[in-house]
């Protein structure tokens, strides 16, 4: 009888903790923070001739950021899978039924895959961004423009920002939504791998993933390098055998840190990466409860304790393949939050991450191993 009562208590604690993941704070959206404010950016307009924008949350204002007036050109694209099934095991790599939109002037307009993901290298840096959980479509569209604002503020080079917009909106059952979206995020790895295949001929490609979006990014990199995911179809094109092709930025990654071990589920994620930067928060109240998503394995999020290396999560060193990893604990600055915009607006290391994604770092080499802050 006592054993049964202990089991019931454990189940209740797990359920309450996962509910707090869903309700306590965002795992990507609905956050508010004080960020630089000098130029008021226009609010995003509805997508022209596209699927209706979800109306559960009001559209958030694009962040007012001072931008570099000398920037040559920046393009923003949305590659959306929101109209497709949430969970799947394979996709059509030849012609996936994604929807593509582009920010033109002051509105989103329909575009094409060839514009967003040109199969040839046109000289523009391509940056793939995957948002986090509980993001309505209109908020995701504005979040892409927020990321673009930070990029434009630090460069005068041309780049193309491509956001993978995936079905992560919050429905009426938050407990179910968190568990389901955790699975959906890994399904989206197939689309990330497809997008990387389209960009195979590009000289410089960067990836940025927040929270559950980071899981889609590391899964996509793992597949692109020739890895497989149990239960998922393998990518049909030849695996990427180039080295140090990508720059990777992870912000509060909701990924089991053991998955990133060389023999882990996403063990090849860093195989073709020139450099990795991870911003995490050891005071994150959401990722602190990440272990309750799997009561048996009790995973520890790389966004809560850092990416685990052969030594200690508080010290970074090159992984196999001489991939440089740098990671910083932003908890002392942003506090007890899982807010994406707090990382962007308050964590001083995000500015370095922007330079990292733009391939404009000074003195960053693969031999530099940095100590986590």
Tens of pLDDT along 142-201?
Answer: 999 999 999 999 999 999 999 999 998 777 676 777 888 889 999 999 999 999 999 999
Helix, strand, coil shares of the chain, percent, nearest 5, are: 30, 15, 50
Question: What confidence tens digit (pLDDT) does each residue in 278-300 have?
Answer: 999 999 999 999 998 888 889 99
243 vs 338: which has the higher pLDDT: 338
pTM: 0.79
pLDDT attached to residue 294: 86
pLDDT on residue 72: 59
Q: Identify the pLDDT of residue 322.
A: 43
Alpha helices in 134-251 (DSSP H): 137-152, 174-187, 189-198, 212-224
pLDDT for 316 equals: 46
pLDDT the model gives residue 314 = 45
C-alpha torsion angle, residues 261, 263, 265, 271 (rounded to 10) = 70
pLDDT the model gives residue 67: 53
Query: What pLDDT, in 10s, does the model give residues 94-153?
Result: 889 999 999 998 999 999 999 999 999 999 999 999 999 999 999 999 999 999 999 999
Averaged pLDDT, 194-213: 95
Confidence of residue 41 (pLDDT cuts 50, 70, 90): very low
pLDDT in tens, 54-65: 333 344 444 445
User: Which pLDDT score, from 0 to 100, does residue 87 have?
Assistant: 87
* CA-based radius of gyration for the chain: 19
Residue-wise pLDDT tens digits, 74-92:
999 999 999 999 888 899 8
- CB of 204 within 8 A of CB of 195? no
pLDDT computed for residue 364 by the predictor: 42
Q: What is the pLDDT of residue 65?
A: 52
Of the ranges 35-44, 213-222, 314-323, which is most confident?
213-222
Cβ partners under 8 Å of residue 279, min gap 6: 249, 250, 251, 252, 327, 328, 330, 343, 347, 349, 350, 353
More confident residue, 17 or 173: 173
Taking only the tens place, the pLDDT of each residue in 243-264 is 668 999 999 999 999 999 989 9
Mean pLDDT for the chain overall? 80
Q: Taking 60 as the threshold, does the pLDDT of residue 37 lie above it?
A: no
Q: At what angle do helices 189-198 and 174-187 cross, to 10 degrees?
A: 30
Give 275's strand partners. 247, 324
């Amino acid at each position: 009888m006592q054993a049964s009562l202990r089991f019931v208590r454990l189940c209740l604690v797990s359920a309450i903790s996962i509910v707090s993941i869903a309700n306590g704070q965002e795992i990507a959206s609905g956050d508010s923070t004080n960020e630089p404010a000098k130029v008021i950016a226009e609010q995003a307009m509805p997508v022209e001739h596209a699927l209706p924008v979800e109306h559960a949350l009001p559209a958030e204002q694009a962040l007012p950021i001072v931008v570099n007036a000398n920037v040559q050109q920046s393009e923003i694209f949305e590659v959306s899978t929101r109209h497709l099934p949430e969970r799947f095991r394979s996709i059509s790599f030849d012609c996936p039924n994604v929807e593509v939109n582009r920010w033109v002037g002051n509105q989103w307009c329909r575009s094409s895959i060839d514009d967003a993901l040109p199969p040839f290298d046109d000289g523009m840096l391509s940056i793939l961004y995957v948002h986090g959980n509980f993001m309505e479509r209109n908020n995701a569209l504005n979040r892409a423009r927020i990321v673009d604002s930070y990029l434009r503020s630090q460069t005068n080079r041309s780049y193309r920002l491509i956001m993978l917009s995936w079905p992560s909106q919050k429905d009426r059952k938050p407990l179910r939504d968190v568990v389901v979206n955790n699975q959906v995020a890994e399904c989206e790895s197939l689309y990330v791998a497809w997008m990387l295949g389209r960009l195979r001929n590009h000289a410089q490609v960067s990836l940025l993933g927040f929270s559950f979006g980071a899981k889609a990014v590391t899964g996509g990199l793992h597949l692109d390098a020739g890895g497989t995911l149990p239960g998922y179809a393998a990518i049909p094109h030849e695996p990427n055998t180039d080295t140090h092709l990508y720059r990777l930025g992870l912000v509060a990654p909701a990924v089991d840190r053991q998955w990133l071990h060389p023999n882990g589920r996403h063990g090849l994620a860093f195989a073709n990466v020139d450099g990795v930067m991870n911003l995490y928060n050891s005071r994150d109240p959401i990722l602190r409860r990440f272990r309750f998503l799997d009561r048996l394995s009790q995973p520890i999020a790389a966004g809560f304790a850092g990416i685990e290396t052969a030594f200690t999560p508080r010290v970074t060193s090159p992984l196999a393949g001489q991939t440089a990893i740098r990671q910083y604990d932003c908890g002392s600055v942003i506090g007890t939050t899982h807010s994406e915009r707090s990382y962007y607006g308050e964590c001083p290391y995000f500015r370095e991450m922007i330079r990292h994604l733009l391939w404009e770092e000074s003195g960053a080499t693969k031999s530099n191993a940095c100590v986590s802050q």
